Structure 1
Amino acid sequence: MTEASAFDPATATIAIVTYNRSHLLTRLLDSLVEMDPKPGHVVIVDNASTDDTTDVVESYRDRVGTEIVYRRLDTNTGGSGGFSEGMRVAYELGSTWMWLMDDDVEVLPDGLARMGHWAPRFKSIQGRRYDYDGSPFYWQYRVAESMAIPIPFAPAGFDESGFKAMNSGCFEGMFIHRDIVARIGLPDPRFFIYWDDQLYGWLASRITASVIVDEFVLRRTREIKQHDFGVRHMNASSNAYRYYIMRNRAIIKRYYRAKGVYNPVMFGLGTALTFGKELIRLVLVERTVRGTSHLLRGLRDGRAIARDAAWQPMPALAA
């Protein structure tokens, strides 16, 4: 792609969200030291960690090879709040491209160059990543829009084009242009965790051609308990995740209503399937049925969000 030279790495900002995992953040920062080329900025949003995260960040200021902007929040705002703040800082720095990631990945040395290869063609891009064991990680890049749930068996292979259309997003590697951020606004911190990146990627796909590209750019550095179904894995979860998985369906519903795509029957089916999937996760992955109450509590609290007359989607950043 001859146009790839038009991408300037200095116009990109890597935005990292971390919370009490300085040992993982260290591995990520080590990988940034080895990156070539490097971004113009690295923004680190610390969700009020109580470990030695601040000291770790400071120890890398003269080693990463680019400017580090460190934001330590007063409270834990969850991944959603962290990414919203990270994108806000990157946007205000004037970044053209924002590359989002958690602290439990490392960047492959040529990762930014690989993402930049596609920058002249697309404005919402997702790269691929290796799992903890080195195998290719399958990410559900398509959602069934009417139900607002991922399609678990969307084809994993790529053709000669090297990309596939997506209508979702993942903050573990989302690479997005400021023009799109300006139009759809910042990620919604009210999610706290879960569904926030899927919705944000869906919003982006409504105004631009969003793609996942056949480029391995990240590697996961944290092992997660899984159940292997042969063609797909199912990860372990937590009571907090179970609560927000169900509560945040109401936030998606509010966005769907605002965008004029809400179908109560199909969306309700998606919510029921989500509830069923989480029950299966409890039984097969975590070998328990305890945790169901958190799913039910999430549904209950979601009803208050659905009825809130003052609720509004996140505003655009530019007219």
Structure 2
Amino acid sequence: MAAASPAFDVPATTSFDPASATIAIVTYNRSALLSKLLDSIIAMDPKPGHVVIVDNASGDDTTEVVESYRERLGTELVYRRLEENTGGSGGFSAGMQVAYELGSEWIWLMDDDVEVISDGLARMGAWAPRFKSIQGRRYDYDGSEFYWQYRLSIPLGIPIPFAPAGFDGAGYREMNSGCFEGMFIHRSIVAEIGLPDPRFFIYWDDSVYGWLASLRTTAVIVNEFVLTRTREIRQWDMGIRHLNASSDAYRYYIMRNRGIMRHYFAEHGAYRPVRFALGTALTFVKEIIRLLIVERKVRGTSNLFRGMRDGLAIARDRSWAVMPPLEG
């Protein structure tokens, strides 16, 4: 694994209390991966005040695995099993709600297929006095540095693939997106923008949520490695950039959810019809490339077309309302 990222001199106005933070994990039928994550939390120093696990109605032994960690996790464990699979979007919305109701000052979101680096919370907390929406960095499955596209072109509604990957002496870059695999966000921002929208099910939910946060505060990605992926995903390596394999469900929702994204952009005066349509076309082309080059098949395009059809119906639905703020 690559060496740990350097510690930066961050101006502090108030100290960070690790007990004020909650790790919120979403899991679904991956108890073996969840165990690795919980083992890494046991090894953390410092630990958060709470760990919230949202189980998307798993059919495996997730409940038994979670209960086996309750006495040895070293911090308070809150387990919420949902009655049905609500996707990552519904799981993160529920996890953030539980963490918020616990009174958490900071909420750290993550999937079940990562491990936390032992001093990860301290590294994130070092930036907490300065920023309120923070994204740390991740190592990929093979120990390489994972690149995440942290900037969105809002008119197009797509990630900017050529956003700089490096960091200068400041140790951070401003972002206008988000990733629920590691988002570290303050409760005051959650109060203002509301919970993540569970209607996305999967895809674009964290991008939109991170954008909403960036409208309220300076959102940043910091040069701190705090997570390691524990699941290998087939991908097309393009140097520092990569294109992961996908699934029929992702192909459907990546197109369908652009209808939801359009409502959020319109609500905040950022919707530009022609350029957003171009972004939708570029998204479609990207998914075709993913099918042909990464997955080496042609079947699956029907899911893209179904997603476009249903997304257009959502976009035209005038009764659709964005998620409300939690306070104020």
2:246 equivalent among 234, 237, 245:
237
Q: Which residue of 1 aligns with 2:4?
A: none
Alignment of 1:261-272 (within 5 A): 261-272=270-281
Structure-1 residue corresponding to 2:17: 8
Partner of 2:263: 254
Supply the AA of the counterpart residue of 1:35.
M
SS in 2 for 1:227: strand
Distance, in Å, in 2 between the alignment partners of 1:119 and 1:173 is 14
Residues 39-60 of structure 1 deviation map (CA, whole Å, 9 limit, x = unaligned): 0000000000000000000000
> TM-score by structure 1 length?
0.99
Q: Report Cα offsets for 1:143-177 as digits up to 9, x if no partner.
A: 11111100111110000000000000000000000
Distance in 1 (CA, whole Å) between partners of 2:243 and 2:211 is: 22
Report the Cα offset of residue 309 of structure 1: 2.2
- Following superposition, which runs of at least 4 residues in structure 1 exceed 2 angstroms of deviation? 1-5
- Structure 2 distance, partners of 1:63, 1:105, is 19
Counterpart position of 2:163: 154
CA RMSD of aligned residues (A): 0.9
Q: Secondary structure at the match of 2:12?
A: helix
Please give the secondary structure, in 2, of the residue aligned with 1:3. coil
Any unmatched runs of 5+ in structure 2? 1-9
Change over 3 Å in CA distance of 1:5–1:33 after alignment to 2: farther
Deviations 1:182-207 (A, max 9, x none): 00000000000000000000000011
Identity of aligned residues (%): 74
CA contact (8 A) 2:147 2:240 kept: no
Could you list the per-position Cα deviations for residues 40-92 of structure 1 after superposition, in whole angstroms to 9, with x for gaps in the alignment? 00000000000000000000001110000000000000000000000000000
Give SS of 2:79's match.
strand
Q: Which residue of 2 aligns with 1:34?
A: 43
2:173 — aligned with what? Answer: 164
1:182 is aligned to 191
Matched with 2:87 is 78
Which of these residues, 54, 61, 64, is aligned with residue 55 of structure 1?
Answer: 64
The amino acid of 2:147's aligned partner reads Y
> Do the aligned partners of 2:38 and 2:69 also contact (CA within 8 Å) in 1?
yes
Q: Is the 8 A contact 2:11 2:130 kept in 1?
A: no
Q: Cα distance, 1:261 vs. partner?
A: 1.1
How far has the Cα of 1:250 moved from its partner? 0.3
| CA offsets 1:277-315 (integer angstroms, 9 cap, x no match) | 000000000101110000000001112211222110000
SS in 1 for 2:23: strand
1:5 positional shift: 6.5
Displacement of 1:24 in angstroms is: 0.2
Residue 137 of structure 1 corresponds to: 146
| 3-state SS in 2 of match to 1:212 | strand
Q: Which residue of 2 aligns with 1:108?
A: 117
